[in-house]
Amino acid sequence: MSNSLKPGVVTGENYRTLVREAKKGHYALPAVNVVGTNSINAAMESAAKNKSDIIIQFSNSGGQFYAGFGLEDSFEAKVLGTVSAAHHVHLLAEKYGICVVLHTDHANKALIPWVEELIKHSENHFESHGKPLFSSHMLDLSGEVIDFNLSESKRLLERMSKIGMSLEIELGVTGGEEDGVGSDDDIGADNPLLYTQPEDCLRAWEMLSPIGHFSLAASFGNVHGVYKPGNVKLRPEILKNSQDLIERTCETGSRPLDLVFHGGSGSEKGKISTAIGYGVFKMNIDTDTQFAFSKAIGHYVNESPKAFLHQVDPEDGTPYKKLYDPRKVLRSAELSMIERLDEAFVDLGSVGKSLAK
């Protein structure tokens, strides 16, 4: 059976094929946070250049930015901006000749209504086009008790699986800064509060896998924001323990969980590769591409500071139109973001692995 897919946005069975082939081929796909057409197009250009498939994801505020901060109803802007961006990708992805997974990033309890509104858009899209608008959404209820996390995940997945959508969940750690786990002294490799427990992964598997496809972000020493990077040790073997427990208990095939790596900026390359070997197929990238994008703009402006103060040079009359044309500035940012993504594709081993034919 051929595993090649049509280029464009992939959902349902085709999305599962992407995940399965990545795990089998020992590579992962970058999941790039985007905020507008510049970062979306840069992500797709870079995927095409590297002949890799890619995951494009929106945060709720990224969606709002896409719609425009001038819109008064911020909830509506978060929904419509994300939908508008999704249509942009649907229209163009095919032309870039690669497969694109359309996904939304961390949504905590307060953002469940945002996710539900987006699901409604996918349900309508499914009715008219036979496929959902988004490939998957993420629900991050890792800050809530696990019973609530799993029951809400189940409720949404029941609705999503009917239209070929997948859900990403996050199983958190039981401690937080308020529990004293955030101070520098007690962050140790042996602190069980900082790592997702295999028993919790098993519970998620037993509850969600009969309903539909889900992926799981587990904490194995990766940090997003709360702790200073480098303070918590990456322990990919946590992922292996979870896989083994499920495999043993539920008699599944090997590495049943489809795992996601959050907060991986600055991780050692060897640990990334080990994590991929334990079933990680998706690695989020945001901070590094944000910096790459903005750094280039700073550099561009510093190169010709006068062009950003005067339309025409007050001393010698030189016109600066060619320099301050926003397309020039933004293109330099796109190219810099592409350069950073080139590295990500290499680190994740996905260069040349696109399934699009």
Catalytic positions, written as ranges = 105
Q: Which residues bind Zn ion (CB under 5 A)?
A: 170, 217, 262
Q: Considering beta carbons, is residue 258 or 334 the nearer one to Zn ion?
A: 258
The token duo for 94 is: 């095919």
* Nearest-10 crossing angle of helices 198-208, 237-250: 50
| Min separation Cβ 172 and Zn ion, Å | 8
CB 136 within 8 A of CB 167: yes
Tell me how far apart the alpha carbons of residues 30 and 27 are, in angstroms, rounded to a whole number: 10
Q: Considering beta carbons, is residue 97 or 229 the nearer one to Zn ion?
A: 229
Q: For residues 78, 53, 247 and 161, what is the CA-based torsion angle, rounded to 10 degrees?
A: 40
Q: Considering beta carbons, is residue 235 or 262 the nearer one to Zn ion?
A: 262
The token duo for 179 is: 């529990």
Which residue from 282, 247, 355 is spatially nearest to 136, judged by alpha carbons? 282
Residue 270 CB burial class (10 angstroms; 0-12, 13-18, ≥19):
exposed
Q: Considering beta carbons, is residue 12 or 279 the nearer one to Zn ion?
A: 279
Q: Which residue has the tokens 């979306």?
A: 40
Neighbours of 101 (CB within 10 A): 25
| Min separation Cβ 262 and Zn ion, Å | 4
